[in-house]
Amino acid sequence: MMLALFLVWPMIFGQHGEGAAAAATATREAPKPIPAVAVAAVIPIPAKVSLPAAIAPKSCYKRYQAAFQKCARGDQACSINAADQWDLCEATGFWPE
């Protein structure tokens, strides 16, 4: 019912006495030009900053290995905590302290 109303409504109430032919030709006007978009200058950003070897951060996996080795054998809470810290480090780039 709604689809029929949607399709019939413009035919009944949408013409205001001009007729369908006038409405069809009115939509075929000359295309209007689209204004050009200004392109901003692209400034390159260095992808990686090299750090001296003395302060180079350890990888998340190496920190995970160190934290996992500190856990007692069979201590699941400690190993799960180490895995959670590894996951957070991979997601954020920082090892949670």
Q: What is the mean pLDDT of the chain?
A: 76
CA distance 14 to 3: 16
| Residue 79 counted as domain residue | yes
Residue written as tokens 């200058």? 41
pLDDT class of 32 with cuts at 50, 70, 90: confident
The pTM is what? 0.42
CA distance 97 to 94: 9
The per-type count for the chain, helices as H runs and strands as E runs, is 4, 0
Q: What angle do CA 66, 68, 72 make, to 5 degrees?
A: 120
Is pLDDT of 84 > 80?
yes
| Residue 70 counted as domain residue | yes
For residue 72, what are the domain limits?
62-92
52-82 per-position pLDDT tens digit: 555 556 789 999 999 999 999 889 999 999 9
Report whether 61 contacts 82 (CB < 8 A): no
CA atoms within 13 A on the CB side of 30: 2
| Residue 36 counted as domain residue | no
| Residue 85 counted as domain residue | yes
Q: What is the mean pLDDT of residues 21-27?
A: 57
Q: What is the mean pLDDT of residues 8-27?
A: 64
User: Domains in the chain: how many in total?
Assistant: 1
How many percent of the chain have pLDDT more than 90? 26
pLDDT class of 95 with cuts at 50, 70, 90: confident
DSSP label of 52: -
